[in-house]
C-alpha cells in the first residue's frame, strides 16, 4: 500500500522505540532519582519538604524573602507545610497569565484517630480511619510506617517517622488465618475487612505487675512520654498517618518499572518539579503547583478549592506592579492554562475487561492525555476543549514527546476525578495529562520508567511553548 495512505492512521509508539542510547540511560537515571524522591516523601508534609529542599538547592527563594520579581527569578511558597507553589518568572508579567502544571501530593492511607490507643487480648492497638479510596483488604498483614506531626500540650511540634529507617520497628494490622476465615471468605472484597477493624498493633510488652490494669496501653503511653514527651491528649492535636513501610523498588528482570507507595500522584509532582528545574527562560511564568486533599475532594485550606493559590498569584503580581486588585488575580487566572497532572489507569492484562482497549493508557507508551474523567456520562468532569487539546497535542508533537490518549475505564465501569475542574472553573483552559499507573491506590503501585521520563519531557515542552 502507498505509504501516504498508511500515514493517515494514528500510531501510538512505545517510548522505548523512540529513544536513542543516551536517552535510555537518562530514563534509568531519572528512575533512580525518582525512587529517592519517593522514599523521602511518603506523606504530603514530607513530600512538600522534599520539594522545597530540592527547590532551594536549585536556587529558588521563598516568596516572603523575594523582592521585585524579574524574568528568570525562581520563587516558592509553602501552604501550611502541605502544599507548595514553585514558579520561574517569565518575561511577561504574571498578570498576563501563567502556565501551570498542577499535581497533588496526598495519597490514600490510614490516619490514626484522635483517641486511638486501647488494649485488648494482650496487646495495645491504634484505631485508624482510612483516608481516600482505599481497598481495605490490601492494608492488612503488611508492614506499615507511622509518619506525621504532633502538637504537644505546650505547643511544641514533634515530627515522627517510625518504620522506614534501618532497624526501625513497623506497625501491623492483623488478618484472619485461612483456617478460620470460612465466614469472612463468604463476604465480598469490599465487606471482608471492615473500616473499624483496621486497628494496628502498637505494643505487646506490659508495664507494672500482675495486680495492675491496662498494662499494655499504659506501657505504650509511658514509652511515648519517655521518648517523645507525649501524653495521651496530644493525639488530639496530631496528624499521624500509617503508610506502607519499605522503599521504592524496581520491578522485573529488566528494572524498567518501579513499584512504590504513592505514585498517585507524586509521580506527577516529581515530573513537574523536574521539568521546572530544567527550565531557564520562558515567556509566561511557569508554575508547578502541588496541592493536598485531592483524595478526599480537594476541600480545606490546603486543597485545590482553597484560595491559597490565588493569593500566591496575587502576591506575585503585587511584587511586580506594587499593587494588585482582586480582579487582577481573577484575570491572571483566566489568562492561564493548566495541565492537571494526575495519574491515569494503565491497561492491566490481568483485568482487561474493565477497559476499552482503544481508549486506555498502556504502560510504556508515554504520557497520556485525558480529555474527560467523571462517571455516568462524564459527570463531574472538566471536558477539555478540542482547541486546547489541539494546542497541547501540537506542542507535544513539535517537541518529540511520546504521548497517548485514554479515559478511566470503559463506559459505565466506574470513574473518578482530578483537580482539573476546579481551576477550569476559574475561567482557565485545563486538560488532564499524566502518567499511567497499575494498581492505583494500592499500597504499592507500578509505573514505567519510560513514562516517568516522557512525562517530565512533556511538562517541559508545555512550559517552553507558552
Ligand atoms: Mn490522583
Ligand atoms: Mn487517587
CA of 441 to the centre of ligand 2 (A): 6
Contact 54, 273 (CB under 8 A): yes
User: Per-residue pLDDT for 1 more than 90?
Assistant: no
Mean pLDDT of the region 409-415: 94
Helix (H) or strand (E) holding 142: none
* Residue 212 Cα to ligand 1 middle (Å): 48
In the chain, CATH 3.40.630.10 covers: 3-107+261-465
Determine the straight-line distance between the first and last CA of the chain, rounded to whole angstroms: 39
Region 249-255 average pLDDT: 98
Kindly give the distance from the C-alpha atom of residue 104 to the centroid of ligand 2, in angstroms, as a whole number.
9
Containing H/E element for 126?
strand 124-131
Residue 295 CA to ligand 2 centre (angstroms): 5
The tens digit of pLDDT for each residue in 128-141 reads 999 999 999 999 99
The fold of the 3-107+261-465 domain, in CATH, is: Aminopeptidase (3.40.630)
Confidence tier at 211 by pLDDT (50, 70, 90): very high
Closest to 369 measured CA to CA, from 406, 335, 401: 406
* Distance from Cα 447 to the centre of ligand 2, integer Å: 14
Interval 103-129 mean pLDDT: 98
Measured in Å, residue 50 CA sits from the centre of ligand 1 at 19
Distance 341 CA to ligand 2 centre (A): 12
- 154, three cell numbers: 505546650
Q: What is the number of the ligand closest to the CA of 131? A: 2
State the chain's mean pLDDT as an integer: 97
Determine the Cα–Cα distance for residues 273 and 265; give it in Å rounded to an integer.
13
Q: Which three cell numbers stand for residue 391?
A: 494546542
Q: How far is the CA of 344 from the centre of ligand 2 (A)?
A: 9
Mean pLDDT of 330-348: 98
Whose CA is closest to 42, among 174, 230, 240, 199? 240
Ligand nearest to the CA of 419: 1
For strand 157-162 and strand 249-251, is the pairing parallel, antiparallel, or unpaired?
unpaired
The answer to whether 322 and 93 are in contact (CB under 8 A) is no
Give 151 Cα–ligand 2 centroid separation in angstroms. 28
C-alpha 284/C-alpha 313 separation (Å) is 13
pLDDT score, position 356: 96
pLDDT surpassing 90 at residue 6: no
235: DSSP letter: G
Q: What is the secondary structure of 37-52 as a DSSP string?
A: HHHH-SSHHHHHHHHH
Quick one: what percent of the chain has pLDDT higher than 90? Answer: 98
Residue 371 has which C-alpha cell?
480529555
Ligand closest to 295 (CA) is 2
Nearest 10 degrees: Cα torsion 200, 206, 210, 214: -50
Whole-number Å distance, alpha carbon 44 to ligand 2 midpoint, is 13
The residues placing their C-beta within 5 Å of ligand 2, an ion, are 264
Cα 310 to averaged position of ligand 2 atoms, centre (Å): 24
DSSP 95: G
Residue found by looking up cell 488532564 in the block: 432
Domain with CATH 2.30.250.10 in the chain: 109-244
Using the predicted structure, report yes or no on whether residue 223 has a pLDDT greater than 80: yes
Which residue, 404, 437, 405, is CA-closest to 258? 437
- pLDDT band per the 50, 70, 90 thresholds, residue 144: very high
Please indicate whether residue 256 or residue 6 has the higher confidence score (pLDDT).
256
pLDDT digits (tens, 9 = 90+) for 283-294: 999 999 999 999
Residue 206 in 3-state DSSP?
Answer: coil
How far apart, in whole angstroms, are the C-alpha atoms of residue 196 and residue 192? Answer: 12
Q: What is the pLDDT of residue 251?
A: 98
Which residues are paired to 375 by β-bridges? 379, 415
Kindly report the CATH number that applies to the domain delimited by 109-244.
Answer: 2.30.250.10
Confidence class for position 385, pLDDT limits 50, 70, 90? very high
d(CA 303, CA 295): 10
Amino acid at each position: 500500500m502507498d505509504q501516504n495512505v498508511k500515514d493517515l492512521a494514528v500510531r501510538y509508539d512505545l517510548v522505548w522505540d523512540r529513544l536513542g542510547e543516551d536517552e535510555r540511560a537518562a530514563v534509568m537515571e531519572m528512575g533512580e532519582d525518582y525512587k529517592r524522591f519517593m522514599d523521602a516523601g511518603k506523606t504530603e508534609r514530607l513530600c512538600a519538604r522534599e520539594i522545597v529542599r530540592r527547590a532551594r538547592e536549585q536556587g529558588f527563594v521563598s516568596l516572603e524573602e523575594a523582592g521585585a520579581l524579574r524574568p528568570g527569578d525562581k520563587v516558592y511558597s509553602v501552604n501550611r507545610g502541605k502544599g507548595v507553589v514553585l514558579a520561574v518568572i517569565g518575561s511577561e508579567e504574571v498578570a498576563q497569565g501563567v502556565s501551570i502544571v498542577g499535581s497533588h501530593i496526598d495519597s490514600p492511607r490510614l490516619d490514626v484517630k484522635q483517641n486511638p490507643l486501647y488494649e485488648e487480648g494482650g496487646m495495645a492497638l491504634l484505631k485508624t480511619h482510612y483516608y481516600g479510596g482505599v481497598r481495605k483488604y490490601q492494608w492488612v498483614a503488611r508492614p506499615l510506617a507511622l509518619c506525621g506531626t504532633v502538637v504537644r500540650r505546650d505547643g511544641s511540634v514533634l515530627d515522627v517517622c517510625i518504620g522506614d529507617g534501618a532497624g526501625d520497628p513497623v506497625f501491623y494490622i492483623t488478618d484472619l488465618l485461612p483456617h478460620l476465615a470460612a465466614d469472612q471468605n463468604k463476604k465480598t472484597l469490599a465487606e471482608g475487612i471492615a473500616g473499624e477493624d483496621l486497628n494496628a498493633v502498637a505494643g505487646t510488652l506490659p508495664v507494672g505487675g500482675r495486680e495492675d490494669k491496662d498494662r499494655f496501653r499504659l506501657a505504650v503511653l509511658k514509652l511515648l512520654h519517655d521518648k517523645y514527651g507525649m501524653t495521651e491528649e496530644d493525639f488530639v492535636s496530631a496528624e499521624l498517618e500509617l503508610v506502607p513501610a519499605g522503599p521504592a523498588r524496581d520491578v522485573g528482570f529488566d528494572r524498567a518499572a518501579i513499584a512504590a507507595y504513592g505514585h498517585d500522584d507524586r509521580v506527577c509532582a516529581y515530573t513537574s518539579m523536574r521539568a521546572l528545574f530544567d527550565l531557564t527562560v520562558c515567556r509566561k511564568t511557569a508554575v508547578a503547583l502541588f496541592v493536598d486533599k485531592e483524595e478526599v475532594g480537594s476541600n480545606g485550606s490546603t486543597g485545590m478549592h482553597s484560595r491559597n493559590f490565588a493569593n500566591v498569584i496575587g502576591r506575585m503580581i503585587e511584587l511586580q506592579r506594587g499593587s494588585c486588585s482582586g480582579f487582577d488575580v481573577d484575570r491572571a487566572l483566566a489568562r492561564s492554562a493548566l495541565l492537571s497532572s494526575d495519574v491515569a489507569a494503565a491497561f492491566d492484562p490481568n483485568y482487561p475487561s474493565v477497559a476499552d482497549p482503544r481508549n486506555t493508557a498502556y504502560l510504556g507508551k508515554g504520557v497520556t492525555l485525558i480529555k474527560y474523567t467523571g462517571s455516568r456520562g462524564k459527570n463531574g468532569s472538566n471536558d477539555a476543549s478540542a482547541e486546547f487539546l489541539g494546542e497541547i497535542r501540537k506542542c507535544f508533537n513539535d517537541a518529540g514527546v511520546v504521548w497517548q490518549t485514554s479515559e478511566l475505564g470503559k463506559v459505565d465501569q466506574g470513574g473518578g476525578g482530578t483537580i482539573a475542574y476546579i481551576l477550569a472553573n476559574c475561567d482557565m483552559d485545563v486538560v488532564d495529562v499524566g502518567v499511567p499507573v497499575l494498581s492505583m491506590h494500592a499500597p504499592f503501585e507500578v509505573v514505567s520508567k519510560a513514562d516517568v521520563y516522557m512525562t517530565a519531557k512533556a511538562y517541559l515542552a508545555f512550559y517552553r511553548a507558552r
